[in-house]
Amino acid sequence: MNERVIAVVTAGLTTPSSSRLLADQLSAAVADELSGRGISSRIETIEVRDHAHDLTNNLLTGFPSAELREVLETVEAADALIVVSPTFSASYSGLFKMFFDVLDDQALAGKPVLLAATGGTERHSLVLDFALRPLFAYLKALPVPTGVYAASTDWGPNAAGLRPRITQAAGELVAALHHETPTKSDPFTNPTPFEDLLNS
């Protein structure tokens, strides 16, 4: 009962990728924060790269493959989300965006989200607030105030500077978990009665 499920969506392309590295540090920090409050956690990490073909197929056919459907359902069912995109051409990557394009646009409503991005230089750090934040605002998610951006230097000389940002953001995500997520009505279980459709 007292377990929280955190879905992690990371869109790095290489192995190992700095996006995955950041994703792992963020999810570990969130798990620590939760366990500090006596709450256990399950981390479900999704490498978007593994589903690149299925995502394209979903755009073309209009439905997800069985495997992708499972992944989308994992994200929808999670208590909170951590997302990490590499910065491509001053924004999130196309592959990252495709994942959220095929996800139902109500799937993230009311869900706390920790925004994170990686890039080659600190000069792209506003990608968090100028690209990711509007996307998740549109999806009616609840992005926490602190986003985490990691440039190449954050993995070397500035590593000590990254740590407190991760801790801060993880704390905010766990605090946001107390939000009640709105319950969604399933139109197949509770269809709108036809008289209402006729009279609307």
Partner 1 sequence: MQFGVFSVGDVTEDPTTGVTPTEGERIKAMVAIALKAEEVGLDVFAQGEHHNPPFVPSSPTTQLGFIAAQTSKIILSTSTTLITTNDPVKIAEDYAMLQHLADGRVDLMMGRGNTGPVYPWFGQDIRNGIALAVENYALLRRLWREDVVDWEGKFRTPLQGFTATPRPLDGVPPFVWHGSIRSPEIAEQAAYYGDGFFHNNIFWPISHTKQMIELYRRRFEHYGHGAADQAIVGVGGQVFMRKNSQDAVREFRPYFDNAPVYGHGPSLEDFTRETPLTVGSPQEVIERTLSFREHFGDYQRQLFLMDHAGLPLKTVLEQLDILGEEVVPVLRKEFAALKPAHVPDAPTHASLKAAAERARQLETIDEPAVVAEPTAEESTR
Between 161 and 191, whose beta carbon lies closer to partner 1? 191
d(CA 106, CA 138): 10
Stretch that binds partner 1, among 15-23, 53-61, 151-159, 163-171 (CB under 8 A): 53-61
Residues 27-61 as b or e (16 or more Cβ within 10 Å = b): bebbbebbeeeeeebebbebbbbebeebbebbeee
130 is a contact residue toward partner 1 (CB under 8 A):
no
70 is a contact residue toward partner 1 (CB under 8 A):
no
End-to-end CA, the chain: 41
In this structure, the strands spanning 91-92 and 80-88 are antiparallel
193 is a contact residue toward partner 1 (CB under 8 A):
yes
Q: Please, are residues 113 and 83 in contact by the beta-carbon 8 Å criterion?
A: yes
Between 60 and 160, whose beta carbon lies closer to partner 1? 60
Residues in the chain: 200
Among 38, 156, 164, 187, binds partner 1 (CB under 8 A): 187
Between 180 and 196, whose beta carbon lies closer to partner 1? 196
What are the strands, taking DSSP E only, across 39-107? Answer: 40-47, 80-88, 91-92
194 is a contact residue toward partner 1 (CB under 8 A):
yes
Q: How many residues touch partner 1 (CB under 8 A)? A: 17
Stretch that binds partner 1, among 31-39, 56-64, 81-89, 122-130 (CB under 8 A): 56-64
Give the residues lining the site for partner 1 (CB under 8 A): 56-57, 60-63, 65-66, 187-188, 191-194, 197-198, 200
